[in-house]
Amino acid sequence: MHIQLTASDGHRLSAYTAGPADAKRGLVVVQEIFGVNHHMRTVCDRLAAEGYAVVCPALFDRVEREVELGYQPADVQRGRDLRAKVPEAGTLADVEAAAAALPAGAARGIIGYCWGGSVAWWGATRSHSFRAAVGWYGGGIAGTRTEVPNCPVQLHFGDKDASIPMADVELIRAAQPGVEVFVYPGAQHGFGCDERGTYSAPDAALAQRRSLGFLATHLG
């Protein structure tokens, strides 16, 4: 189901929501650079099937509404262009609006993929709304690795990711010894997306088990 959110700066945006309205645990799910597309809705539905209330805000609404991209090279470029136009402060405001839309009293977490992996990290370091944060292959984390998280964080990377060198992952590990960092040998960027050529079913399944276990531990 799609709902409308209002951020603290008055911006109105859409969001996809799933899961029980009375859930004890809630998740903000943060999109890749391809919008709240079929894959992201599937991710939300899978998390909802685990008992979570889920809200996935349409972060591109600040520059263009109803964006749903595929995974061809032209889509990648368009997604990058759109992302570059979205201010970080606006992104965080939209994430906070999504958190506020989760059921009252629910323990809140945040999980993101690709661009959303970086946004999930910022949700941990720049917000106090979450009790746990999980990021899958977030390319912007290394550049903000010295920020201090306000909640437990778990991160996932593929060691063959063409856009996130292992040197960056080691910098993150060095800067954040308290953060769980998992590296998947042979996995590429987007290894968790079953609509991409880089999908790796075994690695995606393992990362999902680790993510769900981490969230269950910290969200109760």
The pTM for the full model equals: 0.96
**Residue entry with tokens 């650079």:** 33
Residue whose C-alpha is closest to residue 194's, from 186, 184, 185, 204: 204
Model confidence at 217, pLDDT cuts 50, 70, 90, reads very high
**Residue entry with tokens 């996935």:** 56
Q: Coil, strand or helix: which one is 60? A: helix
- Is 189 annotated as catalytic? yes
What are the pLDDT digits (tens) for 23-54? 999 999 999 999 999 999 999 999 999 999 99
Residue whose C-alpha is closest to residue 116's, from 64, 57, 66: 57
- Set 44, 56, 61, 161: catalytic member: 161
- Is 161 annotated as catalytic? yes
- Set 151, 189, 193, 203: catalytic member: 189
Task: Return the structure tokens found at 149.
Answer: 């998280």
Averaged pLDDT for residues 82-108: 96
pLDDT at 220 over 90: no
* Distance separating alpha carbons of residues 155 and 43, to the nearest angstrom: 17
* Distance separating alpha carbons of residues 89 and 209, to the nearest angstrom: 31
* Distance separating alpha carbons of residues 60 and 62, to the nearest angstrom: 5
Residue 214 is classified by DSSP as H
CA distances from 134 to 42, 137, 208, 216 (A): 17, 10, 10, 12
Q: Give the Cβ contact number of residue 214 at 10 Å.
A: 19
Residue whose C-alpha is closest to residue 123's, from 156, 93, 146: 93
What are the pLDDT digits (tens) for 97-145? 999 999 999 999 999 999 999 999 999 999 999 999 999 999 999 999 9
Task: Return the structure tokens found at 146.
Answer: 């010295």
Domains of the chain: 2-219 (3.40.50.1820)
What does the mean pLDDT of the chain come to?
A: 97
Averaged pLDDT for residues 195-201: 96
- Angle of helix 115-125 relative to helix 88-100, nearest 10 degrees, comes to 70
* Distance separating alpha carbons of residues 136 and 157, to the nearest angstrom: 6
Residue whose C-alpha is closest to residue 46's, from 204, 182, 164: 204
Looking at the chain, list the stretches that DSSP marks H as alpha helix, in order from N- to C-terminal side.
38-49, 73-85, 88-100, 115-125, 166-175, 201-219
Averaged pLDDT for residues 163-191: 97
- Set 56, 114, 151, 193: catalytic member: 114
Q: What is the pLDDT of residue 160?
A: 97
